[in-house]
C-alpha cells in the first residue's frame, strides 16, 4: 500500500503541529512493512523554514517542484499545510496558487493552524465548513460569511479538513490513519506512541470556558449553545428557556448553580467577548461590531463594554 504525502511548511508554523503530523505517519510506516509512505516536506519560500519557536526545518522540495508533482499522473494522496498566523505577505500569492492547484487536481488538503484562513482566502472553502483557533473564530466567521464556521478540534469535508493546530492536529492525523488505512493500524500507532485516547473532531476546542462546561447538564449546554448561535439577534431569556425545554426558573437555577451568574449576565458576557475579539482581530468599525454583537447602538455597546472590561472599545483597538 503506497501513499504520497506532502507537508507544506509556511514560515511561522508550529513545531508541535509538525510533530503531530510526522510522528504518527512515520510510526505507521515503521510498524507495518506493507505500508509505503513517501513523505516530502515542502517550503513555499526558502529551503530552510523557521517555526514560531525559532527552530528551522530544512525542506526537501520547493514550491515549483511541488506544483509539478501535484499535476502529474503519479498523484499526491494528501497535502498537510502547517501555517502560522503571521506568515509573510509576499508568500500569499504563492500559497493561493498551491491551494488552488490542489483543489483543481482533487488533492485532499489538511489545513493546520491558521491554514483555514488561507484556504478561505483562496476560495476553496466556498459554502463549506471550517474551523480555526478559538481566539480567531469570531473574526473568521465575520470575514468569511460564505463558510460555515465551527468551534471544533477539526472539521472534515470531502476534500478539505481544517484544524486549529497544536494538540488537535494529533487527533486529526489519527483519524486520517483510520480512514486511509484501518482503525486497527490507528490503534496500534496510538499504543506505540502511548496515546491513551484520541478526541472526536466535533468536540469544542479546549479553553477555560469549554473545560468548565464539560460536566454541566445537557440542558444547560443547550441553552448556552443557543446563546452562542444567536449573538447578532439575541433571543430573550424566555425564548432560550423554551428552546432548551426548561422553565425560566429551572434555567435560572442551572446558571446560578454551575456558572454563578444569571442567564442574562452570561449572555451579555458572550456578546461582549464576541465584540472584543472582532475589535482585536478585524478592521470593522465599532458601530458595525456593536450591531454584530447584538447591540442597537454603539453607545449601548460601549457602556456595557466599559462595565465588563474597565475600558472603552476604542482603547482595545489602540492597544498594541
Please report, for the domain that includes residue 105, its CATH number: 3.40.50.880
Domain end, chosen from 192, 217, 246, is at 192
Alpha carbons 99 and 55: distance in angstroms, whole number? 25
Non-local (6+) Cβ contacts of 226 within 8 A are 235, 240, 243, 244
At residue 73, the pLDDT reads: 75
Task: Answer whether 52's CB lies under 8 Å from 84's CB.
Answer: yes
Task: Please identify, among 131, 164, 192, the residue that sits at the C-terminal boundary of a domain.
Answer: 192
Could you tell me if 145 and 237 lie in one domain?
Answer: no
Burial class (CB in 10 A: 0-12, 13-18, 19+), 228: middle
What confidence score (pLDDT) does residue 316 get? 83
The rounded distance, in Å, linking the Cα atoms of 158 and 64 is: 26
Q: Kindly state whether residues 261 and 302 are assigned to the same domain.
A: yes
User: Which range marks the domain in which residue 222 is found?
Assistant: 208-318
185 in a structural domain: yes
Question: Both 33 and 173 in a single domain?
Answer: yes
In a domain, 7, yes or no: yes
* 166 and 256 inside one domain: no
Q: State how many domains the chain has.
A: 2
Distance from the first to the final alpha carbon of the chain: 51
**pTM above threshold 0.75:** yes
**Centroid of chain to Cα 124:** 16
pLDDT averages per 10-residue partition of the chain, 320 residues: 93 95 96 93 92 93 91 86 85 94 95 95 94 92 93 93 95 96 95 91 76 77 93 96 96 93 95 91 91 96 94 76
Residue 72: the pLDDT is 79
Are residues 221 and 173 both part of a single domain? no
- Residue 123 shares a structural domain with residue 264: no
CATH of the domain at 262: 1.10.10.60
Residue 201 covered by a domain: no
For 320, the enclosing helix (H) or strand (E) is: none
Residue 318: predicted pLDDT = 61
Q: Return the pLDDT at 59.
A: 94
Q: Which pLDDT score, from 0 to 100, does residue 320 have?
A: 40
**Residue among 100, 96, 102, 46 at smallest CA distance from 71:** 102
Same-domain check for residues 169 and 310: no
pLDDT value, residue 282 = 86
Amino acid at each position: 500500500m503506497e501513499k504520497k504525502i506532502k507537508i507544506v511548511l509556511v514560515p511561522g508554523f508550529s513545531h508541535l503541529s509538525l510533530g503531530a503530523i510526522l510522528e504518527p505517519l512515520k510510526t505507521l510506516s515503521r510498524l507495518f512493512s506493507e505500508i509505503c509512505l513517501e513523505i516530502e516536506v515542502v517550503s513555499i519560500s526558502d529551503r530552510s523554514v523557521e517555526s514560531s519557536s525559532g527552530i528551522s526545518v530544512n525542506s526537501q522540495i520547493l514550491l515549483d517542484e511541488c506544483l509539478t508533482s501535484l499535476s502529474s499522473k503519479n498523484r499526491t494522496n494528501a497535502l498537510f499545510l502547517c501555517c502560522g498566523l503571521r506568515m509573510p505577505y509576499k508568500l500569499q500569492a504563492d500559497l493561493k496558487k498551491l491551494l488552488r492547484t490542489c483543489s483543481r487536481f482533487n488533492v485532499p488538503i489538511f489545513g493546520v493552524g491558521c491554514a483555514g484562513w488561507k484556504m478561505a482566502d483562496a476560495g476553496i472553502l466556498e459554502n463549506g465548513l471550517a474551523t480555526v483557533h478559538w481566539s480567531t473564530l469570531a473574526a473568521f466567521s465575520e470575514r468569511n460569511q460564505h463558510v460555515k464556521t465551527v468551534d471544533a478540534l477539526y472539521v472534515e469535508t470531502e476534500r478539505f479538513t481544517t484544524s486549529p493546530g497544536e494538540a488537535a492536529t494529533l487527533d486529526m492525523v489519527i483519524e486520517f490513519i483510520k480512514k486511509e488505512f484501518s482503525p486497527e493500524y490507528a490503534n496500534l500507532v496510538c499504543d506505540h506512541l502511548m496515546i491513551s485516547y484520541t478526541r472526536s473532531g466535533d468536540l469544542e476546542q479546549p479553553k477555560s470556558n469549554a473545560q468548565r462546561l464539560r460536566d454541566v447538564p445537557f440542558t444547560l449546554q443547550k441553552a448556552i449553545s443557543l446563546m452562542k448561535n444567536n449573538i447578532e439577534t439575541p433571543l430573550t431569556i424566555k425564548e432560550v428557556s423554551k428552546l432548551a425545554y426548561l422553565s425560566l426558573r429551572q434555567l435560572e437555577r442551572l446558571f446560578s448553580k454551575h456558572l454563578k451568574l444569571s442567564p442574562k449576565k452570561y449572555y451579555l458576557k458572550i456578546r461582549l467577548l464576541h465584540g472584543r475579539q472582532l475589535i482585536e482581530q478585524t478592521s470593522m468599525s465599532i458601530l458595525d461590531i456593536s450591531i454584530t454583537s447584538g447591540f442597537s447602538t454603539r453607545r449601548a455597546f460601549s457602556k456595557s463594554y466599559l462595565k465588563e472590561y474597565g475600558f472603552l472599545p476604542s482603547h482595545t483597538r489602540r492597544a498594541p
